[in-house]
Amino acid sequence: MLKKIKTLTAILLAIAFVSAPLSAFQSYTKNNVSILPETENDLALPSNPNDGNDDDNDGATDGNNENVETDAPNTDTTPEVEPTPSPEPAPLPPSTTYTKYIRCTGNGVNIRSGAGTSYSTLGTAEKNTTYAVVGQSGNWYQTYYRGKTAYIYASYTAVFEMEESKNDEVEDVIAQGYKLIGVPYVYGAVRFHDGKGKLLAGFSAQKFDCSSLIQYIFYQGAGTILDVNTRTQIKQGKYVKPSELQRGDCIFFTNESRQHLTGIERVGHVALYLGDNYILHTASDYARIEQISQTRWNYYIEARRFV
């Protein structure tokens, strides 16, 4: 009898266990250790493929796996290098300019006050006399003659050029000399000033000797004050070696009457050097531009630079 009762009790307990709610069993397994996944989605990889695997992506990502800005510090420790500045281009040398000159090819060439045969004659030019060209009107070259603007017909001239100085003051001095071509030579002519800048009464720009001409053009062209004669002018300025002679330098010579004297008493003439063996000076007739003859070179003493 007792055996039947135990058997019946076991059956009743089995029925009670089978009829217990499934949710109780599920709750137990979820809050402890899951044995089986609930759905197929539980087998999927994590939704962010970069979790635990950044690879080459150094930036943070949003839900769409796009790079976004961060405030993370720059970990690049490479020192910044200042860019090497480009060297400044070398300045261009001053451009070379030239003065045009005309040499008369015949004797008695008319020098006129205007560009045409109807204009008055200011004088006549000897063969090989040279003038600076300051302009041109048709077939007429514009120049200077005895302080006035003058014109010479091109057909009676030969043209040549000389390189100008890079020193504007030198060219200003030379330009003053151009204006005086043809002015008569007068020995002992009254100087423009007394050698210290005081203007002298009786001066005339229509008569010069060699030293008064040089004194005048340097004062008018560059404001340079030179003394009153060659023997005192040679003590001024800067000595120039013959091999370093430049346009605008002054050359001092002796002459036939002074060549046997000594010291500064040998000095008897001064001329302004133009380059290419040409000088502007006045000697025994009138102010002119001409080449230095071998005879005059034999009288050479020294050269000086005043500007």
The arithmetic mean of pLDDT across residues 57-76, rounded, is 45
Per-residue pLDDT for 269 more than 60? yes
pLDDT at 35 over 70: no
As a whole number, the mean pLDDT across the chain is 83
Structure-token pair, residue 115: 């560009």
Cα 281 → chain centroid: 35
pLDDT digits (tens, 9 = 90+) for 175-193: 999 999 999 999 999 999 9
- Looking at residues 65-72, what average pLDDT do you find? 45
Does the pTM surpass 0.85? The reply is no
- As a whole number, mean pLDDT of residues 249-261 equals 97
Please state, in angstroms and rounded to a whole number, the distance separating the CA atoms of residues 245 and 248.
Answer: 9
* Interval 109-125: pLDDT, tens: 999 999 999 999 999 99
Query: CB-based contacts of 23: which residues, under 8 Å, 6+ apart?
Result: none
Place 74 in a pLDDT band, splitting at 50, 70 and 90.
low
* 168-305 is classed CATH 3.20.20.10: no
| Sign of the torsion formed by the C-alpha atoms of 103, 107, 113 and 117 | negative
Residue ranges covered by each domain of the chain: 98-163, 168-305
Structure tokens at 301: 């003493």
Residues 6+ apart with CB under 8 A from 307: 167, 169, 170, 173, 218, 222, 224, 248
Q: Decide if domain 98-163 falls under CATH 2.30.30.240.
A: no
Helix intervals (H) in the chain? 2-18, 22-30, 168-178, 210-222, 230-233, 294-298
Asked if the domains at 98-163 and 168-305 fall in one CATH topology, the answer is no
Average pLDDT for residues 142-156, to the nearest whole number? 98
pLDDT in tens, 166-177: 999 999 999 999
